[in-house]
Amino acid sequence: MFSLPPSFSSDPHAHQQQNTESPNFMTSMVEREWFDLCSQIGIREFSTISKWWQYIRNEYDQPNSRFYHTTTHLFHLLTQCRDLFEKDSRFGGSKLLSMTDFIIIRLAIFFHDVIYDSTRKDNEEASARVFMKFVNEAKPEMLRNEDVKRVGMFIECTANHLSHKDKKDQLLFAFLDFDLAVLAMNTPKEEIQFFKDILVEWRNKEEFLQSSYMKHYVENVRKEYGHLSDQEFAKGRSAFIRKMLENPDQLFYTSEAKEKLEKQALVNLNMELSLYTEQEEEEAMIASVPSNSE
């Protein structure tokens, strides 16, 4: 069910041929996906589809506040989703996602971070409200009420990825795993692809600091928390990582994500946590040195 999508392919030639890591390429593919999706759910007014695309793009690509949660993030999630939907045609198996599933998960992807402000605590609820506003305004003829409720639930579940075992919803689990796949980035920053289908044990701190995980993920998240000092960010990020590591076998829900991503994610999280621990120890040591007084 879960596989590394084409945009994360270990074959660099695939990227060079399509330049799939180009921001312009990714944005155009996300736009195409949006228009296809709106057509599939029965929105007939082109002006409505276009208006909402402009709103979504403007929200995700705010130049002064969005650095990780951008249309690039949407592209990576949508690529994973489409790869899952199209698996049956490539491997001759039965469909893993119905068309209804495919619609629900893509709507959740588009709207799950449409409101993102690192200073507020209700981003997910606010994003779900925007989705409801879209439904009420666009009036998609092919979207059932139960589907609308499910999309809203998916969006709100991203507030805490690790607390939904009781929901027994495999589509939700796939969606949440897509969102956290970034934790398993394991290539040097200069490589076109972000993932290799092997476990990478970082040889030292310097190598890890130059990884795609740090450069394309952590450093961009840090920029989104620019209102915090380095110490405040390290404290908050450490708390997040420690919470993730409380149940290291529960980072991901689907067996496929566990198999492909979990070990690398644990390596990355522990390595990142060690950076903050080292920083805290250095600061404590400096603070313990008495200042010279005359």
Give me the pLDDT at residue 278, please: 92
Cβ–Cβ < 8 Å for 186, 195: yes
What residue spans define the domains of the chain? Answer: 6-286
What helix, strand, coil percent values describe the chain, rounded to 5?
65, 0, 35
pLDDT at 21: 62
The pLDDT of residue 20: 56
In contact, 242 and 273? CB cutoff 8 Å: yes
CATH architecture of 6-286: Orthogonal Bundle (1.10)
Whether the Cβ atoms of residue 143 and residue 42 lie closer than 8 Å to each other? yes
- Whole-number pLDDT of residue 284: 74
pTM here? 0.88
Give the Cα separation of 135 and 44 in Å (integer). 13
Tokens for 251, please give them: 């980072």
- Which ranges of the chain have pLDDT less than 50? 1-18, 89-94, 294
**How does pLDDT run across 223-265, given as a tens digit for each residue?**
999 999 999 999 999 999 999 999 888 899 998 899 999 999 9
pLDDT at 192: 63
User: Cα separation of 10 and 6, whole Å?
Assistant: 9
**Cβ contact 178:109 at 8 Å:** yes
What CA–CA distance (Å, rounded) separates 69 from 157? 17
